[in-house]
Amino acid sequence: MLAGPSVRDVVVLDRTELAPGVVLLGFYAPELVAVTRPGQFVMAVPPGGERAATALAIYEAQGERASFLFFVCGARTRELAELRHGDKLSLTGPLGNGFTFAGARDVAIVAGGVGIASVLLPAQMLVEAGARVRLFYGARSVDFLVDRDRFATAGCELCCATNDGSLGHRGFITELLAAAEDKPDLILACGPSPMLRATAFVASELGVPAQLALEEAFACGVGGCWGCVVPLDRASPQAPKFPKPAGDDGFVYARVCKEGPVFWAHELRW
Amino acid sequence: MSLGSTQKGACVPDLSVRIGKLELPYPTLMASGCYGSGEEFEPFADLSQIGAVVLKSVTREPRLGNPMPRLVATPAGMLNAIGLQNPGIDWYLDNEVAKFAKRPCVVIGSVAAFSVDDYAYVTQRLAARAEIAAIELNISCPNVGSEGETFACDPDLTGRVVRAVRAVTDKTLIVKLSPNVTDIAAIAGEAESAGADALAVINTLRGMSIDVHAWKPRLGNVSGGLSGPAIRPVAVLAVYEAARAVSIPIVGQGGIENATDALEFFLAGASAIAIGTANFTDPRIPIKIVDELRAYLAARGLRSLRDIVGKANVGFGSPFQYEGDVG
């Protein structure tokens, strides 16, 4: 029987800076790879660290190696970006509910910046299952459209957008999604909050269901502290089944780490 | 510097503690609001090796909780303002409490309220359940407007609420005090004379953080509760002062991350400790602390943790040479 989520120390295998501040960190974790589902994350911290752990999406998970792809934006990510081959890293996970896409035949994946980190695994699995996968990939410039060859090699069709027009459409990636010729039967998305909101809007205009992988600051990451919530329709199967408080207007706060991080766009009340 | 290991053949020091009617095998409690109901952490920590889980607070009515953001990272700690999101006591008793029987550790309920009557009402109903070994009275939540913390900031109100709750249950009653007061000793004394079996010292410190780009508070609730190592010295002093004012046991808490930190609290006068924010760094920390405490006591030939409670001397020489940090 496979082990479930756990806390384990792993060893860093490789570290590459793909763009200024964008780091790919590979580590040896066969047990994690064996139980990881697309869209899940782990809480990562260097052993003996004094800060709370940071939530990172599992980017690659194959054989004995898994990796993170992240943007250095604070003290903890700076610490993680300084790790080198042979360094140790403490991981709790895999955590959260990932993407569900069984039966989808034509999938549009929307990724903004390092949001790409959540969508490699679903892209690979969908292509393997015989689905058509279009990756709508946006970033501020061509330099930040990192690792796009890997998606092409994996069998995805790429549509790119950059803020400065250095590659593909000049503008937002969601504009390309809205203008796409064939309507997908499912949309998966991960990226900055404005991009996710725009994706939710486009999906609703197209009448296509969309799953959004949200990013939020976590404290515990396992559902214990209720610090990372998002307003969710009470009718959602993912919504905590709490009774309605006085003045209830139809939503309940769900934990991004536990009930999420992937939610159906039409059930979010943001 | 290491603690030294327990030598073969040497007696294993006793870490068990007594808090009111509770006998705990380990002196480590998981702080309320930080550990869910324990279930969330079961894949990552062996709960049979911790003293007790203090559950997230429950109120009379369901509560939506505060708007986001609810968390902010701060130097050596964090601010939180969850706002007591919970399903209310009716739903809680019907749907949650039965599950607590499966935990391989002692389970302590936590009660929050906005009136003396509601404290007594919720406590009476929760304490009636066999799954709940003891009650922690959260009279010091800083994140629900002015009402939540009022009780712990006024000796008279503390006395009234503890007396009302004492009248409805014989189970062990732990009263959680606020650090946001002028004289914690007076409030500790009032809680004891009103019938508390133990004190939890301290809840979070009130704090605020502002986004200077957006010109907005970083928390949806504006203010929040500060936890983590940043508050440890405040907590150690509060335990020290409270311990000198009362003879009931104290559960010391505030920024404990390792055995050295824990020992400060025991020496200040705590009989047990609670761990909150440190579980967010590594859920194995509570078990590591127990191992290190055992080694610390064994290396000094001490048979029981009880031998060091409140032994921080003032104005006398130390019986030991300085050996650096132990953890």
Q: Give the N- to C-terminal CA distance of chain B in Å, as an integer.
A: 7
Domain count for chain A = 3
Task: Tell me, yes or no, whether A1 lies in a domain.
Answer: no
Task: Tell me, yes or no, whether A269 lies in a domain.
Answer: no
My answer on whether A118 and A195 are in the same domain is: yes
My answer on whether A179 and A200 are in the same domain is: yes
Cis peptide upstream of residue B13 (ω within 30 degrees of 0): no
Task: Tell me, yes or no, whether A17 lies in a domain.
Answer: yes
Between strands A88-95 and A41-45, the pairing is: antiparallel
Domain end call among A95, A123, A145: A95
My answer on whether A223 and A142 are in the same domain is: no
Task: Tell me, yes or no, whether A47 lies in a domain.
Answer: yes
Q: Pick B44's closest partner by Cβ from A222, A242, A253.
A: A222
Span A172-194, average pLDDT? 96
My answer on whether A87 and A158 are in the same domain is: no
Query: What tens digit of pLDDT does each residue of A128-160 get?
Result: 999 999 999 999 999 999 999 999 999 999 999
Q: What pLDDT shows up at residue B142?
A: 78
Q: Among candidates A228, A193, A263, which has minimal Cα distance to B68?
A: A228
Q: What pLDDT shows up at residue A74?
A: 86
Q: What pLDDT shows up at residue B241?
A: 97
User: Looking at this protein, which amino acid is placed at residue A4?
Assistant: G
| Structural domain range at position A249 | 216-263
Q: What pLDDT shows up at residue A2?
A: 47
Contact A89, A77 (CB under 8 A): no
Q: What pLDDT shows up at residue B325?
A: 64
Task: Tell me, yes or no, whether A73 lies in a domain.
Answer: yes
Domain end call among A214, A232, A252: A214
Q: What pLDDT shows up at residue A75?
A: 84
> Which residue of chain A comes nearest to B82, CA vs CA?
A227
Q: What pLDDT shows up at residue A50?
A: 65
Give the residue numbers in B contacting A (CB under 8 Å), as ranges.
33-36, 40-41, 43-45, 56, 61-65, 68-73, 76, 78, 80, 82, 85-88, 90-91, 95, 229, 257, 277, 279-284
Query: Which residues of chain B carry a pLDDT beneath 50?
Result: 1-2, 6
Indicate yes or no: CB of A225 within 8 angstroms of CB of B257. Answer: no
The residue of B280, B285, B287, B325 whose CB has the most chain A CBs within 10 angstroms, and thus the best one to mutate to test that interface, is B280
My answer on whether A113 and A196 are in the same domain is: yes
CB atoms within 10 A of CB B215: 7
CB atoms within 10 A of CB A197: 15
My answer on whether A114 and A163 are in the same domain is: yes
My answer on whether A210 and A112 are in the same domain is: yes
Sequence-separated (6 or more) residues with CB below 8 Å from residue B4: B295, B296, B298, B299
Q: Pick A243's closest partner by Cβ from B45, B65, B91.
A: B91
**Alpha carbon distance A94, A3 (integer Å):** 11
B259 contacts on A by Cβ (under 8 Å): none
Domains of chain B plus CATH, in order, are 17-308 (3.20.20.70)
Token pair 């559950």 in the structure block, residue = B55
My answer on whether A151 and A225 are in the same domain is: no
Query: What tens digit of pLDDT does each residue of A194-242 get?
Result: 999 999 999 999 999 999 999 999 999 999 999 999 999 999 999 999 9
Indicate yes or no: CB of B85 within 8 angstroms of CB of A229. Answer: yes
My answer on whether A206 and A237 are in the same domain is: no
Is the sign of the CA dihedral A128, A129, A132, A136 positive or negative? negative
Q: What pLDDT shows up at residue A3?
A: 63
Indicate yes or no: CB of B277 within 8 angstroms of CB of A52. Answer: yes
CA dihedral A54, A59, A62, A66 (to 10 degrees): -30
Sequence-separated (6 or more) residues with CB below 8 Å from residue A184: A106, A107, A108, A134, A208
Indicate yes or no: CB of A5 within 8 angstroms of CB of B35. Answer: no
**Alpha carbon distance A20, A22 (integer Å):** 6
Indicate yes or no: CB of B65 within 8 angstroms of CB of A248. Answer: no
Task: Tell me, yes or no, whether A72 lies in a domain.
Answer: yes
Task: Tell me, yes or no, whether A268 lies in a domain.
Answer: no
Mean pLDDT for all residues in chain A: 95
Task: Tell me, yes or no, whether A30 lies in a domain.
Answer: yes
Indicate yes or no: CB of A226 within 8 angstroms of CB of B35. Answer: no
Phi-psi region of A110 (alpha: psi -120 to 50; beta: other; left: phi over 0): beta
Query: What tens digit of pLDDT does each residue of A100-116 get?
Result: 999 999 999 999 999 99
User: Looking at this protein, which amino acid is placed at residue A230?
Assistant: V
Token pair 């407007």 in the structure block, residue = B145
Between strands A61-62 and A65-71, the pairing is: antiparallel
My answer on whether A176 and A238 are in the same domain is: no
Decide if B105 is catalytic: no
3-state helix, strand, coil in chain B (%, to 5): 35, 20, 45
Between strands A157-162 and A169-170, the pairing is: parallel
A240 contacts on B by Cβ (under 8 Å): 87
Q: Among candidates B320, B239, B223, which has minimal Cα distance to B273?
A: B239
Assembly ipTM: 0.91
Q: What pLDDT shows up at residue A52?
A: 77
**Within 13 A of B297's CA, how many CA atoms are on the CB side?**
24
Angle at the Cα of B70 from the Cα atoms of B68 and B75, rounded to 5 degrees: 135
Q: What pLDDT shows up at residue A48?
A: 66
Q: What pLDDT shows up at residue B1?
A: 39
My answer on whether A113 and A54 are in the same domain is: no
Q: Among candidates B312, B325, B144, B323, which has minimal Cα distance to B243?
A: B312
My answer on whether A123 and A200 are in the same domain is: yes
Span A19-24, average pLDDT? 97
Residue A122 has pLDDT above 50, yes or no: yes
CATH number at residue A116: 3.40.50.80
**Alpha carbon distance A39, A89 (integer Å):** 21
**Alpha carbon distance A26, A65 (integer Å):** 7
